[in-house]
Amino acid sequence: MRGKKVVVLTGAGISAESGIKTFRDNDGLWENYRIEDVATPQAWQADPELVWKFYQARRRQMKEVGPNPAHEALARLESELDDFTLITQNVDDLHERGGSLSIIHMHGRLETLRCEKSGQIEVRMSDEDLEDDFLFCNCCAESSRVRPDIVWFGEMPMQMDEIYDAIGSCDVFIVVGSSGHVYPAAGLASAARLAGAQTILVNFEMPINGYDFDEVHLGKAGEILPKLVEKWLAE
């Protein structure tokens, strides 16, 4: 892969191996909540206290887990290649803590909170920022309530122009731990393939868009990916 433009997309599966729960479990629930109740703009309008407490619990949980060998393998791949882009659907900071330097968080970040009035983003991860009471911004003359800096269902993912530019010009597109259910992320493999890229999948099981991949590796990313990175860097 040396000398090639490589783009990687990661999904919930890579974080699940570190202990972060995914809503694509068999019961269809996300930490015992329906998606509609905690992860839509309508939910925030209808019951902001429930949504806030849900995300505060997720923000606290992030401090209890750490990156796994798959995160570290991708950081190594980035460090060895000249042209590398990492896109993640995940809202945790495990890629950063695993050593990755440049990450596009297309669905937002748990670390940051967004002012409802100005839209300005602040990193708020101190102990007092992780309690269940609502928080208020530091940007407005009269402080406004902040919301999770998360792309909820029905909202537009972040940095899509940058993502499509990277996909349209890459030589290799690698997907790690994505179910292929959530669009537009689920359509990126198809877009990369149409643009002429080699598409590679590393996933615990075959996703619904498995036909979009030229090469498939099934199993735990933390076990498979470090060996694959060694192989790719030797080529």
> Do 49 and 81 have their domain in common?
no
Q: pTM of this prediction?
A: 0.94
Residue 214: pLDDT band with limits 50, 70, 90: very high
Same domain, 100 and 146: no
Do residues 93 and 203 share a domain?
yes
What confidence tens digit (pLDDT) does each residue in 67-82 have?
Answer: 999 999 999 999 999 9
Q: Assign residue 121 the CATH number of its domain.
A: 3.30.1600.10
CATH number of the domain where residue 88 is located: 3.40.50.1220
Question: Any bridge partners for residue 136, and if so which?
Answer: 145
Last residue of a domain, one of 124, 150, 176: 150
The pLDDT, as a whole number, for residue 133 is 97
Indicate if 209 and 172 belong to the same structural domain. yes
If asked whether residues 118 and 228 sit together in one domain, one would say no
Active site residue 107: yes
Residue-averaged pLDDT of the chain? 94
Q: What is the pLDDT of residue 182?
A: 82
Q: Nearest 5°: phi and psi at 115? A: -65, 130
Strands (E), 63-221: 83-88, 103-105, 108-115, 121-123, 146-150, 172-176, 198-203, 215-218
Q: What is the DSSP letter of 23?
A: T
142-161 confidence digits (pLDDT tens): 999 999 999 999 999 999 99
Catalytic residue selected from 105, 107, 181, 217: 107
Q: How many structural domains compose the chain?
A: 2
Residue 38 belongs to domain spanning: 23-64+108-150
